Amino acid sequence: MAIEKENCVAAIEYEVKEAGTTEIVDSNKGADPLEFIMGIGQIIPGLEKALVGMDKGESSDILVSAADAYGEIQPDAMQEVPRDQFEGIELKEGMMLYGQGEQGQTVQVVVKSFNDENVTIDYNHPLAGKDLMFSVVVLDARDATAKEVATGQIGGGGDAGHCGSGNCGCGA
C-alpha cells in the first residue's frame, strides 16, 4: 500500500541533517520506527507532503525547506530576562534549557547571550530557519482504524508519533 494523504498510518525510519551539512541532527535508525497518522499534523508538513505516494520498502532523500519544517526564525521569539532567574545554572551560549510556558506546557529555549544582569533566550525551535535533508525508508503503510482516526493515537493508545529527540517534527 502506498502512503495516502489522510487516514493512513505510516511507519518510517529516518535520518535528518541540516541541508548542506553532514551532521545528523536526529535519527531513529536502529530504534523503533516513527509511526504517525497522515493528515493530522503529527510530523512537519514538508516531510508529510513528500511521503504521499511512497510505497512500503521505498526509500528517498527529501529536502524540506525551513518554511515547511520548523518555520523561519521569529525575531519576537527572543526575550531578555533577569539573570537572577537562572540562579544555580552555569550558563553557556547555545545551551538548551527547559522551562514552563504560560499554559503550563514544557518549553525549550536556547541561551543566545548573557551578562551579569540579563540573559537573552530564544524560544524559536533550534531548527527554525534551516532547510532539512531527510533520508527515509517507508517501513509500513496501512489504513488507520476508526479509533486511530478519532483519537490520533496509533494502536492501543501509546505515544503516537513520538520519536528520538523530537527534532523530526513530532508535535510541530
Residue 89 is part of which domain span? 75-122
Mind listing the pLDDT tens digit for each residue in 39-50? 999 999 999 999
Let me know whether 116 and 132 are in one domain: no
Let me know whether 132 and 63 are in one domain: yes
Mind listing the pLDDT tens digit for each residue in 13-24? 999 999 999 999
Q: Helices marked H in 30-171 — which ranges?
A: 45-51, 146-151
Let me know whether 53 and 135 are in one domain: yes
Q: Which residues pair with 100 in a beta bridge?
A: 106
Question: Dihedral through CA 89, CA 170, CA 101, CA 88, nearest 10?
Answer: -10
Instruction: Give yes or no for a contact between 36 and 153, defined as CB atoms under 8 angstroms apart.
Output: no
How many structural domains is the chain composed of?
2
What integer is the mean pLDDT of 140-163?
Answer: 76
Let me know whether 26 and 80 are in one domain: no
Cell of 124: 524559536
Let me know whether 94 and 43 are in one domain: no
CATH of the domain at 102: 2.40.10.330
Mind listing the pLDDT tens digit for each residue in 83-137? 999 999 999 999 999 877 778 888 889 999 999 999 999 999 989 999 999 999 9
pLDDT band at 156 (very low <50, low <70, confident <90, very high): low
Q: What's the one-letter identity of residue 54?
A: M
Instruction: Give yes or no for a contact between 99 and 89, defined as CB atoms under 8 angstroms apart.
Output: no
Q: What pTM value is reported for the model?
A: 0.77
Q: Left if phi > 0, otherwise alpha if psi is -120 to 50, otherwise beta: which for 7?
A: left
Q: How far apart are CA 2 and CA 80, in angstroms?
A: 48
Q: By C-alpha distance, which of 7, 25, 9 is closest to 155?
A: 9
Q: How far apart are CA 47 and CA 69, in angstroms?
A: 8
CATH of the domain at 13: 3.10.50.40
Where does residue 127 rank: exposed (0-12), middle (13-18), buried (19+ CB within 10 A)? Answer: buried
Give the position of cell 504517525: 36
